[in-house]
Structures are given as structure tokens and as C-alpha cells.
Amino acid sequence: MRNNNQNWIEKYNIMDLSISDIYIDSLYYTIITMATIGYGDRFPTSSLEKLYVIFMAIIACGLFGYVVSSISTILEEANKR
């Protein structure tokens, strides 16, 4: 039988986590959602793994933006010629 009084905080034992773990989890889900990366079949479980994924997501998005900008500049200069 399902306990209707249990909320998501209790279901995932969030009240037992430290403030830093809660902050890292929040930051992880925010960055992954905003970068439209998705959560996938494999996902980080520890705070250290989540920090690594956050760092890599920011680097990857920045690199992608730089590459797209560079390609655009190259094509624009080729059209001028």
C-alpha cells in the first residue's frame, strides 16, 4: 500500500543530507537542465562526481559555443571573398 503522506523529500531522504550535498544536487540538476544535456542511463551518485559533471558540462558548452562561433566567422570571411 502506498503512503500518501510521504513527500519527495522524505522519499529520497533529502532531510538527511548535509547543506553542501543539497546545494551540489541543486546545482547539478540546474546546470544539466539548462544545458539540455539530460540525465541519461548513467548518472553521478556522489557529490564529487556531480561536481565533475558540472565542470565538464560548463567546459563542453563553452567549447561548443566557441567552435560554432569560429565556424560562423570562417564562413562569413569566405563569403566576403
pLDDT digits over 19-59, tens only? 999 999 999 999 999 998 888 888 898 999 999 999 999 99
Q: What predicted TM-score, i.e. pTM, was given to this entire model?
A: 0.75
The whole-number average pLDDT for the span 54-78 is 96
- Asked whether residue 18 is assigned to any structural domain, the reply reads yes
| Residue 71 grid cell | 565556424
Within-domain flag for 3: no
Residue 2 belongs to some domain of the structure? no
Supply the range of the domain harboring residue 37.
8-80
- What is the distance of C-alpha 13 from the center of its chain? 21
pLDDT recorded at residue 3: 60
Whole-angstrom distance, CA of residue 67 vs CA of residue 64: 5
Domain count for the chain: 1
Q: Which helix (H) or strand (E) holds 18?
A: none
User: Is position 67 within any domain?
Assistant: yes
